Amino acid sequence: MTTPVTWTKRWTFILAAAGSAVGLGNIWKFPYIAGENGGGAFIAVYLLCILAIGIPTMMAEAMLGKAGRANPIVAIRKLSLNDGKSNAWSWLGGLGIVTGIMIIMFYSVVGGWALDYVAQSATGAYANANPELTKANFAALLDSKTTQIIGHTLFILLNVVVIGFGVRRGIGIASEILMPLLILILLVLVGYAAVNGDIQGALAFMFNVDFSALSGEAIIVAMGHAFFTLSIGMGSIMVYGAYMPENACVGRSVLTIAAMDTAIALLAGLAIYPLVLGNGLEPGAGPGLMFETLPLAFGNMPGGLIFGTAFFLLISIAALTSAISLLEPAVAWMEQLCIKRWISTSIIGVIAWVGGLASIYSSDVFNFLDYATANIMLPLGGFIIAIFAGWVLRRVTVRKHLSSISMTTFNTWYIAIRFLAPIGIIVVFINGILGA
Ligand code: PFF
């Protein structure tokens, strides 16, 4: 028997899981879906879902991975059989693998857009930009299938190379440098937007809560995004948890990651909305929002060429560290079937690449993959994880694997995972279906 791989340093789990959580979801997706769904009330529901459902589920996932020490399918089978329960629960791992591959099929297209914007920034394509120019630039990118295919292909290739090199070397290093730099540039952007945009309007848009304007559908999207942004419901965090050293504390790690992830999303909103409102743009502009807005800042600020290039480069790396975690459950599973890491990574890379082409040629495919995974499959996966950790495994088993947290914290978590998370998910779904 070989000893299981563990992260080199204790906090590398935090960095890697934060690398998974922080990605396009925070900076590209959050501002545009919050914009489409009216701002304040949507953001309030999203924050509530992070607290009540997201954090407990993320703890469950990390705990299951750490306890099972294997890819999600094997880890869950092992834990279930140990407690005398059915091995059918391991289907949960299968659902996660499929979900991850479906997400990467549109995620890598947006990753490709980010790469294209690195090139645009470096060549001064939007110097002295105005809203007409930035909108035209994004429209031109959507029109050019070739450019999108080049970006998407490059993005998938980068994934295959990093995953092929293996978990410890590939993922940890990228996250260590990335996160502080990304936060720094976001802070610069927020400062610029506060001075040059409509910060008062933005604050009102983000934090004035009017629940009467919130549809059942918007609540589903807010909850789905809580899953998407924390990378939970499909086994990514479980896989990373499997590489956690024995003495690492699940509770504290998860809280740190969730706090960092939420802070980055809110900072992205504070950078984008003042510029949107100050330049007469639409918060509900859709997937182009970030690409049409931030170039206005970079195109007009001193040193914007360098800042813009660095920003889109960092977004691309953030997207890459998230994408890696989307593919890792599938790769880890194939590896355990004794398929070499390079080969399994390449096979999955090809599947993801073909799916990405479909997303490029059809916005319906793109929207379907995005909607179905974030709003249905991840919450469904999260629901099953909550039931498995809260009701199927024995309490003593779960407590044993969460022994580093205090009894009070454990009891609070246990109530959340048994009741709050599963009931919350069901209520949001029923409310959405009835209200649709
Ligand atoms: N959390 C990532 C983001 O916000 O961009 C996306 C993601 C990664 C979702 C991994 C799900 C996942 F399992």
Where b means 16+ CB within 10 Å and e means fewer, 141-171 reads beeeeebbbebbbbbbebbbebbbeebbebb
The residue length of the chain stands at 436
Residue 3 confidence (pLDDT) = 43
21 in ligand 1 pocket by Cβ < 6 Å? yes
326 in ligand 1 pocket by Cβ < 6 Å? yes
Residue 9 confidence (pLDDT) = 60
The three-point CA angle 287-289-293 to 5° equals 155
Residue 372 makes CB contacts below 8 A (sequence gap 6+) with 102
Residue 109 confidence (pLDDT) = 98
Mutation test residue for ligand 1: of 92, 105, 326, 385, the one with most atoms within 8 Å of CB:
326
Half-sphere exposure of 55 (CA within 13 A, CB side): 26
Residue 2 confidence (pLDDT) = 41
Separation CA 78–CA 261 (nearest Å) = 31
Residue 1 confidence (pLDDT) = 35
Separation CA 320–CA 23 (nearest Å) = 8
Residue 266 confidence (pLDDT) = 97
Separation CA 43–CA 401 (nearest Å) = 33
Encode pLDDT of 211-227 as tens digits.
988 999 999 999 999 99
Q: Which atom of ligand 1 is nearest to the CA of 228?
A: 9
Comparing CA positions, the residue from 85, 78, 82 lying closest to residue 336 is 78
Low-confidence ranges of the chain (pLDDT < 70): 1-10, 166-175, 436
148 in ligand 1 pocket by Cβ < 6 Å? no
- Cα pseudo-dihedral 387, 389, 391, 396, rounded to 10: 180
Burial class (CB within 10 angstroms; exposed 0-12, middle 13-18, buried 19+) of 103: buried
Residue 8 confidence (pLDDT) = 55
Cα of 25 from ligand 1 centre, angstroms: 7
Residue 174 confidence (pLDDT) = 65
Cα of 39 from ligand 1 centre, angstroms: 22
3-state helix, strand, coil in the chain (%, to 5): 80, 0, 20
Encode pLDDT of 12-36 as tens digits.
778 889 989 999 999 999 999 999 9
